[in-house]
């Protein structure tokens, strides 16, 4: 009986996860966001907060972009706009291209940028530079876009740029500090592509893979106003006594002296021509999960799309909510579904094989051992890839740890060794989806019936 209930709940969890990933499918997201009726282009979520453009105003439509998910995004744009697309170029990771009719696809290095990426970004900048007042530019941006649109400024080489990134990581600089420096040794990041595209009208469609969905952070915001300055960059370099290659400090000094262009700020009128939209994000995936779970009779609570922290500890907070639901019906009475997203971290202490989603589930399974058999926990990467493993994550329940014990596997030992994959491979609790072509970080589900 309990076995039946758990297996039904595990199936439900899988379906809810699928629904959340479907919501952020890059092709579907563009298709739903960009609609053409006669010559009127509507851009925005169905029926609200969008813009309308009469295509008769424009002579050409150009498409640029970069990121792992931009090939299906570009395909959707071609399907909507057809031959109205004049030409375009997008950069994707090796192996992530798809056949397109009018938009060129360039494969390049990710997560480490390479010369292919530099060359293609140069071509993108030149395409944008040629855009006129009567042109409409579509930009397609997704996770990985920063590495796939490399454009070191001045005479800086890729290797020198990477040396800076390494120094910043080593000195413990914050993400914001790193971004400030990176944007000020690049000729495309921090809104600089928007400046190059001016005076054309630009529509920038972003699939967000960053916690909090800050547009200036997604792919380092090539079309988004920057708030940092060369002065900030210089001060960060001084604060950490950063050792950087000579061309890097030379370029930042040029910026200080007004001899290199500052990133455009929010007040710059050029942004009147830019329309930035997030078309897919973690919170949208979570909301879709909530809708799917409600259709199955669950009451839902979306905790946060911004969950960060050490994975196993975050898992314990989630199971503590599940236990409270069972014991007192708070914060929700069962059947209840707690949903969270974001991206946690794993401090590697062992030598095992796994990913943060599987580790989350392994830690959860330990906490669930011995509780009533009415709880199921799923954690999955929306890209279908959890760490270096072939799984997207795992699905566990109150019996998982015991199932492991029966097989001679102690969950706690596998957790200590960061070896979640090998535990779940044997217990049969892996969540396997294959690559989904999208990435809006992770989705976690806690079902209680």
Binding footprint of a second copy on the chain (CB under 8 A):
212-213, 283, 301-310, 313-314, 316-317, 320-321, 323-324, 327-328, 330-331, 342
Minimum distance from CB of 208 to a second copy (Å)?
12
Looking at the Cβ atoms of 262 and 308, the one nearer to a second copy is: 308
Q: By C-alpha distance, which of 182, 224, 420 is closest to 311?
A: 420
Looking at the Cβ atoms of 199 and 212, the one nearer to a second copy is: 212
In this structure, the number of other CB atoms found within 10 A of the CB of residue 81 comes to: 19
Looking at the Cβ atoms of 143 and 290, the one nearer to a second copy is: 290
125 and 197 Cβ atoms separated by less than 8 Å: no
Minimum distance from CB of 46 to a second copy (Å)?
18
Q: Sign of dihedral through CA atoms 423, 425, 430, 432? A: positive
Minimum distance from CB of 356 to a second copy (Å)?
13
Residue position matching structure tokens 């396997």: 432
Minimum distance from CB of 445 to a second copy (Å)?
14
Minimum distance from CB of 93 to a second copy (Å)?
29
Q: Sign of dihedral through CA atoms 284, 285, 288, 294? A: negative
Looking at the Cβ atoms of 108 and 286, the one nearer to a second copy is: 286
Looking at the Cβ atoms of 36 and 369, the one nearer to a second copy is: 369
* Bridge partners, residue 206, by sequence: 141, 278
Minimum distance from CB of 400 to a second copy (Å)?
17
Residue 76 contacts by C-beta under 8 Å, 6 or more apart in sequence?
Answer: 26, 27, 28, 29, 30, 31, 34
Looking at the Cβ atoms of 338 and 395, the one nearer to a second copy is: 338
Looking at the Cβ atoms of 80 and 412, the one nearer to a second copy is: 412
73 and 140 Cβ atoms separated by less than 8 Å: yes
Minimum distance from CB of 223 to a second copy (Å)?
21
Cα separation, 188 vs 139, in Å, equals 13
Looking at the Cβ atoms of 331 and 350, the one nearer to a second copy is: 331
Cα separation, 230 vs 1, in Å, equals 65
Write out the two tokens for 283. Answer: 């919170």
Looking at the Cβ atoms of 106 and 398, the one nearer to a second copy is: 398
Minimum distance from CB of 59 to a second copy (Å)?
39
Minimum distance from CB of 411 to a second copy (Å)?
13
Instruction: From residue 211, give the alpha-carbon distance in Å to each of 122, 283, 304, 309, 442.
Output: 29, 10, 10, 12, 10
Length of the chain: 449
Cα separation, 130 vs 105, in Å, equals 19
Looking at the Cβ atoms of 140 and 346, the one nearer to a second copy is: 346
Task: Please give the distance of CA 144 from its chain centroid, rounded to a whole number.
Answer: 8
Looking at the Cβ atoms of 135 and 216, the one nearer to a second copy is: 216
φ, ψ of residue 77 in degrees (nearest 5): -65, -45
Cα separation, 203 vs 51, in Å, equals 10
Minimum distance from CB of 414 to a second copy (Å)?
15
Cα separation, 144 vs 153, in Å, equals 19
Coil, strand or helix at 401? helix
Q: To 5 degrees, how large is the angle CA 353–CA 356–CA 361?
A: 95
402 and 366 Cβ atoms separated by less than 8 Å: no
Minimum distance from CB of 171 to a second copy (Å)?
13
Q: Is 118 left (phi over 0), alpha (psi -120 to 50) or beta?
A: alpha
Cα separation, 281 vs 210, in Å, equals 8
């Amino acid at each position: 009986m309990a076995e039946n209930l758990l297996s039904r709940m595990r199936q439900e969890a899988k379906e809810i996860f699928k629904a959340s990933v479907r919501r952020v499918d890059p092709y579907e997201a563009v298709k739903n966001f960009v609609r053409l009726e006669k010559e009127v282009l509507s851009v925005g979520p169905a029926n609200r907060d969008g813009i309308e453009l009469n295509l008769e105003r424009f002579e050409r439509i150009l498409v640029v972009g970069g990121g792992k998910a931009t090939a299906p995004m570009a395909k959707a744009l071609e399907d909507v706009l057809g031959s109205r697309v004049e030409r375009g170029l997008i950069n994707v990771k090796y192996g992530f291209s798809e056949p397109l009719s009018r938009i060129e696809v360039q494969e390049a290095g990710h997560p480490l940028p390479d010369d292919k990426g530099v060359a293609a970004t140069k071509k993108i900048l030149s395409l944008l530079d040629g855009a006129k007042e009567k042109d409409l530019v579509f930009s397609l941006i997704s996770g990985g876009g920063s590495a796939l649109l490399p454009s070191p400024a001045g005479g800086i080489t890729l290797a020198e740029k990477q040396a800076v990134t390494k120094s910043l990581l080593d000195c413990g600089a914050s993400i914001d500090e790193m971004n400030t420096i990176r944007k000020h040794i690049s000729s495309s990041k921090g809104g600089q592509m928007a400046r190059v595209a001016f005076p054309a009208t630009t529509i920038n469609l972003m699939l967000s893979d960053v916690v909090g969905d800050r547009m200036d952070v997604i792919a380092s915001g090539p079309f988004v106003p920057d708030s940092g300055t060369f002065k900030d960059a210089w001060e960060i370099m001084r604060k950490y006594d950063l050792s950087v290659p000579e061309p890097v400090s030379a370029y930042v000094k040029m910026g200080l002296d007004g001899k290199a262009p500052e990133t455009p700020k929010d007040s710059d009128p050029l942004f009147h021509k830019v329309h930035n939209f997030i078309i897919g994000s973690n919170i949208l995936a979570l909301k879709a999960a909530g809708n799917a779970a409600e259709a199955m009779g669950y009451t839902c609570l979306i905790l946060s799309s911004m969950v960060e922290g050490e994975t196993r500890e975050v898992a314990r907070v989630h199971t503590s909510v599940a236990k409270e639901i069972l014991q007192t019906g708070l914060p929700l009475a069962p059947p209840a579904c707690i949903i969270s997203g974001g991206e946690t971290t794993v401090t590697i202490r062992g030598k095992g094989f796994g990913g943060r989603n599987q580790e989350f589930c392994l830690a959860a399974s330990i906490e669930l051992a011995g509780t009533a058999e009415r709880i199921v926990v799923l954690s999955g990467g929306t890209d279908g890839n959890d760490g270096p493993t072939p799984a997207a994550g795992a699905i566990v329940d109150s019996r998982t740890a015991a199932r492991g014990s029966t097989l001679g596997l102690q969950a706690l030992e596998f957790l200590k060794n960061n070896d979640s994959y090998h535990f779940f491979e044997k217990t049969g609790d892996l969540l396997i989806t294959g690559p989904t072509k999208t990435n809006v970080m992770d989705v976690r589900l806690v079902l209680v019936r």
